[in-house]
Amino acid sequence: MTRDFYLNGALVVLACLGLFLACLLGSTSLSVGSVMDGLLGQGAPENAVIVWQIRLPRAIAALVTGAALGMSGAALQGLLRNPLAEPGVLGVSAMSVLFATLVIYFGLASVNGLALPLAAIAGALVATALLAFAAFRTGSVVTLILIGVGISSFSGAFMSLILNFAPNPFTLSDMVNWTLGSVANRSLADLTYSLPFILMGMALLLVSRNGLSALTLGEEAAAGIGLNLTRQRLLVITGAGLATGGSIALAGAIGFVGIITPHAIRPFVGHDPSRTLLPSALAGGVLLVFADILIRILPTYAELKLGVVAALIGAPAFIWIAVQNRRGAVQ
């Protein structure tokens, strides 16, 4: 209990440090004093603009995206009882990106600010519902991950089709940006569209947390000790769908955060899925805030996209976890 408190506390401190550093560093380096002034709305007005309109919204977007993905990953892993489950691997992100891209393709994104978040969430919910349906019929996690691969490929194929038919280069580049995943140029307004969905999703996941511990025993014994399986599945699917969809509306597809953070957190919380949720969210947020700072200060020719970096680091980690999991399987 106290150990969890220290873990969460340390992660909160890291997150705050990350947000502050994100305001400090960038193309124009601000001093600690001018960041403080900017935050409080004092001193030179341009500092307030840099902090409030450029750097802080971007950093918060990274934090929120990482948190949503970290918690969704942890919850899906608990529900499916497999450390490889994650929105990206299971095709949830791909489906969500596909729906978001459709909205951009038909020009609806500029008509109403809510169109994109709603489409992204609808896509995520469709994919999680498909997976959940399959999960309860097969019970085999391998089948489930293969279905996820199938959903990813199908969404990918559809994406290619849409890119193929892109009406003009601007729409094309807009859509490509979604597939890459980035938090650059996010405003506080973008945040207000996605944040409510993400928070709602995370709240549902937190409500479901005790049931995730019960599922450690397998579905049959979990039902035996008094878990309402239908309610549990519904909560996790809807929660993960809302949180992932919201994060994708905000930042596009950023893979593997949902797999690495719970994996890193688990040993610190006695491998209890319910206690993994909150620290995974915090760690996911911290990870993306620092990754985004790194991207901004790296002197690259074109700015690196956050989703690209996450995939470059995440995919090998995924393979490593899969190999480890094979050896240490407790089934």
Partner 1 sequence: MTRLEARNIYRTQKDISILSNVSLPLQTGKLTCLIGPNGAGKSTLLRTMCGLDRPTSGEVLLNEQPIQFLSHRERARLIGYLPQSRPLAWPIPVRDAVALGRFAYGARPEKLSPKDAQAVDQAIHDCGLTALQHRATNTLSGGELSRVHLARAFAGEAPVLIADEPLSALDPKHQLRVMNLFRDYTAKGGTACVVLHDISIAAQFACELVWMKSGKILASGPPQETLTSVHMETVFEVQAEISDGRLRDLSL
9 lies in the binding site for partner 1 (CB under 8 A): no
Residue 217: burial class (beta carbons within 10 Å; 0-12, 13-18, 19+): middle
186 lies in the binding site for partner 1 (CB under 8 A): no
Least separation in angstroms between residue 150's CB and partner 1 is 24
In the bound state with partner 1, the residue whose beta carbon lies nearer, of 189 and 329, is 329
* CB-CB contact of 70 with 276 (8 Å): no
Least separation in angstroms between residue 223's CB and partner 1 is 5
Least Cα distance to 163 among 104, 84, 123 occurs for 104
Interacting stretch for partner 1, rule CB under 8 A, among 86-94, 196-204, 224-232, 247-255? 224-232
Least separation in angstroms between residue 321's CB and partner 1 is 14
Q: Count other Cβ atoms within 10 Å, centred on residue 300.
A: 9
Contacting residues for 237 by C-beta, under 8 A, at least 6 apart:
79, 125, 128, 129, 131, 132
206 lies in the binding site for partner 1 (CB under 8 A): no
Say how far apart CA 108 and CA 105 lie, in whole Å: 8
The full DSSP string for 144-158 is HHHHHHHHHHHHHHH
205 lies in the binding site for partner 1 (CB under 8 A): no
In the bound state with partner 1, the residue whose beta carbon lies nearer, of 143 and 228, is 228
Q: Which amino acid is at 25?
A: L
When binding is defined by CB under 8 A, the residue of 151, 274, 296, 311 that contacts partner 1 is 274
82 lies in the binding site for partner 1 (CB under 8 A): yes
221 lies in the binding site for partner 1 (CB under 8 A): yes
Query: Six-digit token pair at 84?
Result: 């490889």
Which residues lie near partner 1 (CB under 8 A)? 1, 4, 81-82, 210, 213-218, 220-221, 223-228, 266, 270-275, 328, 330-331
